Structure 1
Amino acid sequence: MNNQLDNIKAKLEQLRKLDTNLEIFGSEKHRYTLNPTVPLDTIIQFETKHKITLPNEYVAFLTTLGNGGVGPFYGLEPFENAIFGDLDYKRKDSLLNPSKPFLHKDAWNMEFEPTVSEEENQEEYDRQYEEFTDLYFDSEQTNGVIAICNYGCGISLNLVVNGQEYGNIWTDDRGNDGGIYPTIQLGEKAKINFLDWYELWLDRSISEMKMKLDTSKNTSNRTEKPWWKIW
């Protein structure tokens, strides 16, 4: 794990030097800055309170590299935001519950299938829709996770800390009717843990910046006038 942390640190510095104009999505927000690290005592207090053990990779990042900041999309959330159910509107009446096991093993979603149309019976249609939304957005659907990243558009990326999917990152896309599923936002082909996910983002971002810089250089070479041509 220490080798991977060293690799991440080196790649982060490489990306910072490549993206001086903050072109990577979300970089204008985090500006390639990591917050100060989290004391181990703070981690232990959180684990004791919620009766869980956080994944080693995540703890190592927080205590060695930093407490959120630079990271995928709008950046890595600070540890103090870990139990907010909505990262856009952080409210104390909408909290995650990592103490209970995560319910899902496979991608999950629901579709609203009313037995009547609005034209047939508006009151019954509304009742069924309310029943559906209560179940669909039930906070129990995200038991066993902590919030680590805001993708934007009401989508959050969560780290499973309790249950069979322990250590994997899952996406909560219910705000866009997308359900809850193993994260795919970086093009992941399989379930992925925290450090692999973070390093994948670095690799993709470095590749993107190199491609942009090469394209810019080639365009500049094609349009540049010969040294002897003054018109």
Structure 2
Amino acid sequence: MTDQRWVGVRQRVEAAGAGPGSSKVFGAPGHKWVVEEPLTRGELAELEAQTGVRLPEDYRSFLLHVGAGGAGPAYGLFPVRRVQGRWRWEGDGADLADLSRLAEPFPDQGPDPQRLTELLAQRPQEEDFDAIEDFDDAIEAWDERWEAVMFAPERTAGAIVICHLGCAQREWLIISGSHRGTIWSDCRVDDVDLVPLLNEDGTPVRFDRWYTDWLKTAECTALSAP
């Protein structure tokens, strides 16, 4: 039975892609308004068996009734595909997700605040070095320590990357744990920690709202006269 929340969504995306202002929608050159074919129930079952976890209901329903990926927020919804007999998500940074850990709960807490404070206090300052080469070496070593904390693999267990916004900024869909089904922003490249996207009322944004809000906004631009 078709999930009512997705009725007509694929057709709306196709209509927006044919609209006079479609090229003005942010990220459109990336996804080109293409929506991949939906997964069959057998393919979805195979994907979930491989990852060892049932995907959030609204997302799995999207995969069945709209498409396996393609046109969507930012540069597009990362498609899930079978490659050499194994399922995986594909896109810029999709490999940051450890597919062998999707059944593990996404952690509730970020890095130890005290450890972050100490690391920030240790960040080299250019004025403390006589030679720019010495400063460059010191900041490179510090960056490695910082990234080891911020990008520790266990911090994104139970989650997949589903789109990128450019400049190494991405968004994640939480698959397991207390935050299951919510979307998180990842701007760690700019030293901003992982945070959940929030609705106007402060509740976490879930996949269906994330996608349909994008579509409504995209339609306003795409279907407007040039």
Letter in 1 for 2:180: Y
Letter in 2 for 1:141: R
Match of 2:92 in 1: 88
Alignment of 1:151-162 (within 5 A): 151-162=165-176
TM-score, length of structure 2 as denominator length: 0.75
Cα shift at 1:76: 1.0
Match of 2:7 in 1: 6
Distance in 2 between residues matched to 1:137 and 1:195, nearest whole Å: 27
Contact 2:37 2:68 in 1 (8 A): yes
Match of 1:140 in 2: 154
> Structure 1 residue 114 and structure 2 residue 159: aligned?
no
For structure 1, the 5+ residue unaligned runs are 217-231
1:10–1:189: structure 2 CA closer, same or farther, 3 Å change rule? farther
> Structure 1 residue 204 and structure 2 residue 200: aligned?
no
Cα shift at 1:8: 2.4
Q: For 2:170, what is the secondary structure of its paired residue?
A: strand
- Over aligned residues, Cα RMSD in angstroms? 3.5
Contact 1:170 1:183 in 2 (8 A): yes
Contact 2:97 2:157 in 1 (8 A): no
Contact 1:15 1:206 in 2 (8 A): yes
Identity of aligned residues (%): 22
For structure 2, the 5+ residue unaligned runs are none
1:18–1:117: structure 2 CA closer, same or farther, 3 Å change rule? closer
Count of residue pairs the alignment pairs up: 209
Letter in 1 for 2:203: A
Q: Stretches of 4+ moved more than 4 A in 1? A: 81-84, 105-111, 115-118, 120-129, 186-189
One of 153, 159, 180 as aligned partner of 1:166: 180
Distance in 2 between residues matched to 1:34 and 1:125, nearest whole Å: 43
Distance in 2 between residues matched to 1:4 and 1:50, nearest whole Å: 26
Higher strand proportion (structure 1 or 2): 2
> Quick one: higher RCO (CA 8 Å, sep 6+), 1 or 2?
2
Cα shift at 1:207: 2.5
> Structure 1 residue 190 and structure 2 residue 194: aligned?
no
TM-score, length of structure 1 as denominator length: 0.74
